[in-house]
Amino acid sequence: MGFFSSILNKITGKTKVGANLAELRDLSSFITEDTIAELEADLIRSDLGVKLACDFCEMISRQLKTAPIKESELPTLLQEFLLKAFVKIKNQEGLFKLKLTDSGLNIILVVGVNGVGKTTSIGKLAFKLKQDGHRVLIAAGDTFRAAAEEQIDLWAKKAGAGLLRLEDGAKSSTVVFKALEKAKNEGFDVLIIDTAGRVQTKQNLMDELTKLKQVITKNTSAEDQLETMLVLDASTGSNAVLQAEKFNEATSLNSIILTKFDGSAKGGMVFALAYEFGLPVKFIGVGEKLENLKEFDLNEFTKKYFEN
């Protein structure tokens, strides 16, 4: 582990920032251009994303041209820079919360790669919305995987939500179209659409997802509200940025659900996604039970990230 990795470990939860920092080495020494490359590599390994890491190191390089920087100053400088990652979205009140319209149908399109917990997240979200008094319909739009419709059927029943499921072989676009009709005709106020998990590097699959969103937009009115949520595994690391980039290109993402989020997850990707795409995390999955989907709390997250 490099020196800067040790600093990052203190920032990301192993000890309090600066608690025993002086024990690592003589922190009265100063940063040089030679050590910035090591810092950049450590930042990237901490899942903060290439762009954020590079921009931070460029800032340090610029500051070095005007004044020396002690290594002991790095934790504070990094914390200030990371907090700025939220600037684009933090100033928009309530953006980290799911807001629903009362005037039309709320449509939540859920996307993500295979194995991230998309189906379970849909079930938990449906349950949460039901608990809040909403009439929820789930569209079984994953028609590619054999067991997907059975799984979403099971979660819909657990959550007490309605389900639109067509016969085997139906196209996902047909499922979505029928679900939109059913939701509006039968007075549902929230429609959650499941989609097939797909590898973000397969362009033909991503093109299908783009077409699916076009079906939705063509069959909604000005009163309706569409939110596209990307489900990410919290242990994914830096690959989360690539997933977000590709799914954002295909569907114009609005927000993130982080699954499998426990005490061992660093969570650096949260800063990277905010910094690069302006995407807020709205929910985190912390277990397998229906009630284990929690609203993301920005203040609580940043406090734990820097102080635990």
Asked if 240 contacts 264 with a C-beta cutoff of 8 angstroms, the reply is: no
- The count of C-alpha atoms lying within 13 angstroms of the C-alpha of 22, restricted to the half-sphere facing its C-beta, is 2
Cα–Cα distance measured from residue 242 to residue 246, given in angstroms and rounded to the nearest whole number: 6
Full-model pTM = 0.84
For residue 161, give the 3-state DSSP assignment: coil
- Residue 174 main-chain phi, psi, to 5 deg: -65, -40
Cα–Cα distance measured from residue 216 to residue 255, given in angstroms and rounded to the nearest whole number: 18
Q: Which two tokens stand for residue 254?
A: 């609005």
- Hey, which residues does 258 pair with through a beta bridge? 232, 284
Domain spans in the chain, listed from the N-terminal domain onward: 3-84, 106-307
Residue 68 per-residue DSSP state:
-
The contacts of residue 203 (CB under 8 Å, 6+ apart) are none
- Residue 293 main-chain phi, psi, to 5 deg: -120, 115
Cα–Cα distance measured from residue 1 to residue 9, given in angstroms and rounded to the nearest whole number: 10
Positive or negative torsion for Cα 179, 180, 183, 186: negative
Cα–Cα distance measured from residue 234 to residue 109, given in angstroms and rounded to the nearest whole number: 20
Question: What's the fold here for domain 106-307?
Answer: Rossmann fold (3.40.50)
Cα-to-chain-centroid distance, residue 160: 26
Q: Which two tokens stand for residue 18?
A: 């600066």
Cα–Cα distance measured from residue 70 to residue 47, given in angstroms and rounded to the nearest whole number: 24
**pLDDT score for 262:** 66
Cα–Cα distance measured from residue 64 to residue 102, given in angstroms and rounded to the nearest whole number: 53
Asked if 97 contacts 180 with a C-beta cutoff of 8 angstroms, the reply is: no
**pLDDT score for 90:** 59
Q: Residue 109: which of 180, 162, 54 has the closest Cα?
A: 180
Tell me the pLDDT of the chain (308 aa) as tens digits.
Answer: 444 555 555 444 443 333 333 343 444 578 888 788 888 888 888 778 888 889 999 999 999 889 998 888 888 888 888 877 776 565 565 678 899 999 999 999 999 998 899 999 999 999 999 999 999 999 999 888 778 889 999 999 999 999 999 987 789 999 999 999 999 999 999 999 999 887 766 778 788 899 999 999 999 999 999 999 999 998 887 788 889 999 999 999 999 999 987 655 557 788 888 888 888 899 999 888 999 999 988 777 777 776 65
- Hey, which residues does 232 pair with through a beta bridge? 258
**pLDDT score for 11:** 46
Residue 279 per-residue DSSP state:
P
Cα–Cα distance measured from residue 29 to residue 192, given in angstroms and rounded to the nearest whole number: 55
For residue 194, give the 3-state DSSP assignment: coil
CA Rg, the chain, in Å? Answer: 22
